[in-house]
Amino acid sequence: MPGEGPLQAALMQVHVELDALFLVHQRALLDRDVPRARDAFARFRDVLLRHADDEEAVVLPLYAACGGDATDSPSAQFRLEHDKLRRFLDELGPRLDALTPPIDDSELLAILDREGWFKNLLLHHDLRERNALYRLLSSLCDEAAQRAALARIARR
């Protein structure tokens, strides 16, 4: 079993960055600093959307070409999960925009509770990509193809 390939390493870095950005957002919420929470969410949202687009345009086609669709984790499943994440982002953005400072305890708890559902979905997606998509990419696709995909992502 080969080790972690270059694509897996680079994409996992984005997942680490996403977790850090969402933590910044939720810390701002806990401080009841709504403008800072909105800014942090906007940064998180941009990185997540960009990452999902990169995966759909470059990573998943490579995965499918290397045989990923013949496994029990076909590329269509990851696209469906991205759609769910995008729908959640579309819901959370306007909810944050609708918050009017100062926010009271019930408003804060309501948004954190909804974000808890989103975090569960994101964690599930992270684990599936980490344990299936990225791991299989490292073992099924040769390193040159992985490096070419990374270069394509960098050029986008």
CB of residue 7 to Fe ion, shortest distance in Å: 11
CB of 42 to Fe ion, least distance (A): 19
Site residues (vs Fe ion, CB under 5 A):
55, 129
The residue among 55 and 115 lying less far from Fe ion, judged by its C-beta, is 55
**Cβ of residue 111: shortest distance to Fe ion, in angstroms?**
24
| Residues 92, 41 contacting (CB under 8 angstroms) | yes
Distance, in Å, from the CA atom of 101 to the CA atom of 109, rounded to the nearest integer, reads: 14
Residues near 135 by beta carbon (within 8 Å), at least 6 away in sequence: 8
* Residue in 90, 73, 66 with CA at minimum distance from that of residue 139: 66
Q: Which is nearer to Fe ion, 115 or 129 (CB)?
A: 129
CB of residue 125 vs Fe ion: minimum separation in angstroms?
6
Which residue, 30 or 80, has its beta carbon nearer to Fe ion?
Answer: 80
Cβ pair 56, 79 in contact under 8 A: yes
- What is the rounded distance in angstroms from the CA atom of residue 87 to the CA atom of residue 95? 13
